[in-house]
Amino acid sequence: MNVSLKWLKEYVAHQATPDVVAQKFLEHAQEVAHVKPLSTVQGLKVGHVLSCEKHPNADKLSLTQVSLGDETLSIICGAPNVAADQKVIVAPVGVTMANGLTIEKVMLKDYPSEGMICSLEELGIDKKYHGEEGIHVLAQDAEIGADALAVMQLDDVVMELDLTPNRADLLSMFGVAYEAAALLEAPLTIPYPTIEESLLSNPMKISTQTSRCEAYYGRVLDTIEIRESPQWLKSRLIASGVRPINNVVDITNYVMLETGQPLHAFDYDALGSQEVVVREATEGETFKTLDGHIRQLKAGDILITNGNVPIALGGVMGGFDSEVETTTRSVLLESARFHPTSIRHTSRRLDLRSESSMRFERGVDPQKTRYALERATALLVQYAGATVREGIAYFDHYERKDALVELSLSRINRVLGTQLTVTEVSALLERLRFSHEPGECFYVTVPTRRQDIQTEQDLIEEVGRLYGFNQLPSTLPKLNTLGGLSPKQRRFRQLKNRLNTLGLHEAVTYALVKKETLSRFTFASSADAVQLKNPLSEDRQVLALTPLNGLVDTLRYHQSRQMTDTAFFEIGKRYTTNEENDILGLALANDALTHWQGNQAHDFYRLKGLVDHVLALYGLTATYQAVTHESYHPYQCAKIFLGDMHIGHLGALHPSVAKTYDLKHVFLAEINLTQCELHKRVNAPYVPISKTPIIQRDLALVVPKTTSAQRLIDVIEQLELTHFKDVEIFDVYEGEPLKDTERSLALRLRFNNPQKTLETAQVDEAIETVLKALKKSLNITVRDA
């Protein structure tokens, strides 16, 4: 809403500067987008063109003598429409124009020019508001030497309010005036029109067949003279961002801006009847709106008809055939009330959003339906020579009730955290001009112009904002509760910190991915994936099953920028139709960085170490099984298991897949942290440190390459030997003198009896058992020394 502060002063008697007004609105009412003068040009004067001759040395220039009253200037003018005896806008030497250029005395083709005769555009008034070519010619009665902006009433400052949807009242100058009067504590005057009717009576019959039109008032005016509006009216429209057209259209727009009630003027003689029937359109019906377009209508659109054919799309746009034209002599002036939702649907669907439809959508003050008609009628009498037929034709089914709202003083103070008194609250309500009975409980009558206020909470907001939210004390809630992270949140923080310390960067990637890549890096099935109904693009269409999609993109981003040494993780999600699981993604790209002390390249085992490290945070030890997946190296990929539950995988990206991403040496892993959290084994009981020594024995075994290390360990662990602590693989050897099909694994077994130091014989016996078992189950023998 563009508010002309000059116009506002007509209703609100105040002395505040534009900045103060804007500040009050900003702090107590609505966001102010900006406050700017309508024209920034200062020092313009009304000039009288005494003479105008063609420039002897230039075809398109004129030499003029322009009187400013106390002086006469020689001005060279390039506009073709300049002529003697005109009253014009003169910018003398020293005036800075809207484009920032300052007028200087110059010589143009041997003749001096001591100023400029201005067009409206040069004052900063956009051409869309006037369409004028050349200089602006003032009315003949303009006083020579006077301030030209003031004469044109363009000496105005515009405050643009960014309205929130609840404050429909501020879509009218009256609403803004009520607000300003409350904010500035200034007197308010609202004009009341008086109308003299002629002896001819209003012949219109008005009725409705739909409840979507709640009220309709019509007056018939004759002897209309269509002409330009007076300058003050045009200037106010321009300040409000509305283009002046002619007096009739301008007055309906002016009254809409003033009251918030949209009006429509029909050419009475083009109606084709003396009847208005409002009805809903039938599906597929068509109608030619005044912009000349044929509109396809739907059931529910509101049509104004002459009882036979449509003459307007109610609340949205008038009809082509009944538009007011320069030849119009009589008009039917309409002020009606339409259902907001219906207007919203129609105007959106047809993409016909106007000042009028916007006001109906947000809700219009029902007290203004008749008032606006009368106000416009009075102005048409004054500025269009109208005579008014006797009587208003109308129906009005709207039930107008002032809202009576109870407002408890203690609740105000409890909600705001204040200690306002009855008197203070009463004064605030007084400023809002809400009639009320003061007391511990106020009975407040909310005027219909504030349709947004219906409850006690609505009123508390009014009291609070007018009092000033910035006047409130700054306190903290008195509610004492324990704060803290949940165990899961704590673990996530630990996990992030640890992975950071281990050299991995945390990434945050988009959860929406391309459908085709859903299962590219994961074993999770795309069958349960969550797909958008209205994606913005194919690239972001489905919710990811793993953060690895985003992480691979991140690696690709870095490798394409010669940053090949990268290690990333993300705690993302697997989104399925039933649940969302937290998934840790790990992505390492081969370390090309060579330290002078040696190379620490990422490889499968480095990644596996990371996975083990993560699981250790949950007190978990996983087992691994080689698997194949089309995106991974056929011999370097494993599923991660907790018991027999698959909780993730790790592997080297298949070189040919890597190639399609322009990547090299990539290792990816995925761990389902939701499962880890469910099966976590934290807080294991304390075990005192054994006082007896740990006995360790090393075995070098020759193992077929086809036998996994895990199988050896499984065989040993399943023996459940007495005093057995653990077994680890500490060396792997391939090559001479072993066969190509063999490798040697060095195992270290550790034994301990906390009660008593173990005898050598006991350990020997255990080792014997191990060797027998390995021989028996896997046909594995000790490597000859």
Partner 1 sequence: MESLQHLEAQLLEALKDIKTDAALNDIKAQYVGKKGHLAAAMQTMKTLPAEERPAFGQAVNALKTVLLNHLDSHQKALNEAAMMARLEQEVIDVTLPGVPFEQGSKHILSQIIERIEDLFIGMGYLIKEGPEVESDLYNFEKLNLPADHPARDMQDSFYIDEHTLLRTHTSPVQVRTMLAYGGEKPVKIICPGKVYRRDDDDATHSHQFMQIEGLVVDEKTSMSDLKGTLLEVARTMFGADREIRLRPSYFPFTEPSVEVDVSCANCEGQGCSICKQTGWIEILGAGMVHDNVLKDAGYDPTKYQGFAFGMGVERIAMLAYKIEDIRHFYTNDQRFLTQFKDDQGGLEE
Question: Which is nearer to partner 1, 496 or 664 (by Cβ)?
Answer: 496
DSSP 672-688: EHHHHHHT---SPPP-P
Least distance in angstroms from the C-beta of 613 to partner 1: 13
For partner 1, the closer CB: 140 or 501: 501
176 membership: H or E segment, kind and range = helix 173-184
State which residue, 147 or 612, has the beta carbon closest to partner 1.
Answer: 612
129-152 burial code (b ≥16 CB/10 A, e <16): bbeeeebbbbeeebeebbebbebb
Query: In the chain, how long is the greatest CA-to-CA distance?
Result: 132
Nearer to partner 1, 310 or 547 (CB): 547
Beta carbon nearer to partner 1, 486 or 760: 486
Give 252 or 347: the residue with its C-beta nearer to partner 1: 347
First to last CA, the chain: 94
Q: How far is the CB of 400 from partner 1 (least distance, A)?
A: 23
| Min CB(475)–partner 1 separation in Å | 4
CB of 561 to partner 1, least distance (A): 8
**What is the DSSP code (8-state) at residue 246?**
-
User: Which residues, at least 6 apart from 611, have a Cβ–Cβ distance to it below 8 Å?
Assistant: 586, 622, 640, 648, 650, 669, 671
Residue length, the chain? Answer: 785
Q: Which of 695, 691, 689 is nearest to 724 (CA)?
A: 695
**418/753 with CB nearer partner 1:** 418
Cα–Cα distance, 161 to 158 (Å, whole number): 10
What's the min distance (Å) between Cβ of 535 and partner 1? Answer: 7
CB closer to partner 1, 469 vs 635: 469
Query: Please, are residues 568 and 670 in contact by the beta-carbon 8 Å criterion?
Result: no
d(CA 590, CA 604) in angstroms, rounded, equals: 10
Of 394 and 575, which has the nearer Cβ to partner 1? 575
- Within 8 A by CB and 6+ apart from 616, the residues are none
DSSP 521: T
CB nearer to partner 1: pick between 171 and 271: 171
Distance, in Å, from the CA atom of 645 to the CA atom of 135, rounded to the nearest integer, reads 85
Cα distance between residue 350 and residue 366, in whole Å: 26
Cβ 686 to partner 1, closest distance in Å?
A: 29
| Shortest CB 553 distance to partner 1, Å | 9
Q: Compute how many other C-beta atoms are within 10 angstroms of the C-beta atom of residue 744.
A: 16
**Shortest spacing between CB 725 and partner 1, in angstroms:** 31
CB-CB contact of 112 with 105 (8 Å): yes
Nearer to partner 1, 29 or 157 (CB): 29
- Kindly state the smallest distance separating residue 594's Cβ from partner 1, in Å: 11
The minimum distance between CB 379 and partner 1, in angstroms, equals: 33
Query: Minimum distance from CB of 461 to partner 1 (Å)?
Result: 4
Q: Which residues of 620-638 are buried (b: 16+ CB within 10 A; e: fewer)?
A: bebebeeeebebbbeebbb
Contact 41, 103 (CB under 8 A): no
Least distance (Å) from partner 1 to the CB of residue 484? 6
440 burial class (0-12, 13-18, 19+ CB within 10 angstroms)? exposed
Write down the least CB distance from residue 209 to partner 1, Å. 24
Residue 635 tokens, joined: 């011999």
Instruction: Kindly provide the b/e burial profile for residues 553-570, where b requires at least 16 CB atoms within 10 angstroms of the residue's own CB.
Output: bbbbebbeeeebbbbbbb
- State which residue, 166 or 710, has the beta carbon closest to partner 1: 166
Q: Which is nearer to partner 1, 616 or 694 (CB)?
A: 616
How far apart are alpha carbons 155 and 152 in whole angstroms?
8
> What minimum distance in Å lies between the beta carbon of 34 and partner 1?
10
Name the residue nearer to partner 1 (CB basis): 514 or 750: 514
Q: How far apart are CA 566 and CA 564, in angstroms?
A: 6
CA pair distance 780, 149, nearest whole angstrom: 105
Residue with tokens 């006083």: 143
Which residue, 485, 648, 487, is CA-closest to 581?
648
Distance of closest approach, residue 629 Cβ to partner 1, in angstroms = 25
Q: Which residue, 254 or 568, is less far from partner 1 as judged by CB?
A: 568
